[in-house]
């Protein structure tokens, strides 16, 4: 699955000419060759662009971070292990989750595994020259953002992991194996009565919205400074189709696990082809892609492609949704091999 934050992250880190070079692409394609101690080199033009953005980033991106003492923590939504009523609280949680369908747990587990693959995402960001934070104490706005963003994101997987563990509805060892495989390779609750799970999903979504705003702003600024390369990067990425690092998801049994997880998520409406098209349309409008001027012929071709893309996606939307609905049921090791 992919949201606006993911699109922006991939656009800026993996796909933009501002970052891309053959060596970097090779490293990202073959995890065994990846060396986190060596930053990917950038063109001098690119280095200058990002250096020129540092004061802007300090005032427009770092301000979106929240102080630790103002952030929610996983324990705010979980039974208190120091309480005399801990066992009763766990039993109540299990009672609330009793009627949640297996499909929803599959979607929840998949999302949690993506969150827990955070080291992969941070490594990808940190492997680019301007974001490179070799000792973990660099004071550039890019390094500060990456560390703080990672710390905020870390709570998401932590909360979901503990919630799923306490629910007793999933096989934690299989989930843990899937997460380990993924990191090693490089990368709807209210309806069924669990108000607390609905709150958990909502509070995580509010964090993701702040992070999405940051990446949207960064891309917007890059469109202002280098519109031609950015629109070409946007088009190239969309032509290649977006791949989450989690597409490498594997549990020791199912080599197509991410596709099966994504199909289930689409079937129950967590993330569909319609959402994908709406995100593209939103970003094209937000970044004012249609109004870009002074482009090269390649830039103009890219502009035309991305501006028409949402419309093309709508024509294929029905077919994609029908495919998800007709997909055969699959057993998932995460839920003791039950078929969904």
* Helix/strand/coil percent split, the chain, to 5: 70, 0, 30
Residue 156 marked ligand-binding: yes
Beta carbons of 306 and 232 less than 8 angstroms apart: no
The residues pairing with 40 across neighbouring beta strands, listed in sequence order, are 128
Residue 70 marked ligand-binding: no
17 CA to centre of own chain:
21
For 69, the token pair is: 């003492």
Range 212-232 burial, b when 16+ CB lie within 10 A, else e: bbbbbbbbbbbbeebbbbbbb
Residue 33 marked ligand-binding: no
CA distance 268 to 78: 26
For 48, the token pair is: 């200058």
Phi-psi region of 186 (alpha: psi -120 to 50; beta: other; left: phi over 0): left
For 179, the token pair is: 């997460």
Please report how the helices 195-225 and 86-97 are oriented relative to each other, as an axis angle in degrees rounded to 10. 80
Q: Which residues are annotated as a binding site for Fe cation?
A: 115, 153, 156, 208, 211
Binding site as annotated, residues = 115, 153, 156, 208, 211
């Amino acid at each position: 699955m992919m949201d606006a934050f993911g699109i922006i992250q991939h656009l800026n880190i993996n796909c933009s000419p501002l970052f891309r070079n053959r060596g970097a692409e090779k490293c990202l394609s073959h995890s065994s060759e990846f060396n986190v101690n060596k930053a990917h080199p950038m063109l001098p033009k690119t280095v200058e662009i990002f250096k020129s953005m540092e004061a802007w980033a300090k005032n427009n991106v770092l301000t979106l971070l929240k102080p630790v003492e103002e952030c929610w923590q996983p324990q705010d939504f979980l039974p208190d292990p120091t309480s005399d009523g801990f066992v009763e609280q766990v039993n109540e949680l299990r009672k609330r989750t009793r009627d949640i369908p297996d499909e929803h747990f599959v979607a929840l587990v998949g999302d949690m595994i993506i969150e827990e693959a955070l080291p992969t995402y941070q490594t990808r960001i940190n492997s680019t020259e301007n974001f490179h934070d070799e000792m973990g104490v660099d004071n550039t706005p890019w390094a500060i953002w990456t560390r703080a963003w990672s710390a905020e994101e870390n709570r998401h997987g932590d909360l979901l992991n503990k919630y799923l563990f306490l629910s007793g509805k999933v096989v934690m060892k299989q989930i843990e194996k899937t997460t380990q495989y993924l990191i090693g390779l490089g990368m709807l609750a209210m309806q069924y009565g669990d108000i607390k799970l609905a709150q958990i999903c909502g509070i995580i979504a509010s964090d993701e919205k702040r992070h999405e705003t940051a990446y949207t702003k960064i891309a917007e600024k890059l469109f202002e400074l280098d519109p031609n390369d950015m629109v070409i990067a946007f088009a190239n990425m969309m032509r290649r189709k977006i791949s989450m690092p989690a597409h490498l998801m594997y549990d020791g049994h199912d080599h197509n696990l991410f596709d099966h997880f994504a199909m289930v998520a689409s079937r129950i409406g967590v993330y569909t082809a319609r959402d994908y098209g709406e995100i593209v349309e939103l970003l094209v409008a937000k970044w004012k892609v249609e109004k870009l001027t002074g482009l090269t012929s390649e830039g103009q071709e890219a502009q035309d492609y991305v501006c028409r893309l949402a419309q093309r996606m709508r024509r294929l939307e029905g077919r994609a949704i029908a495919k998800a609905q007709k997909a055969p049921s699959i057993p998932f090791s995460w839920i003791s091999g039950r078929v969904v």
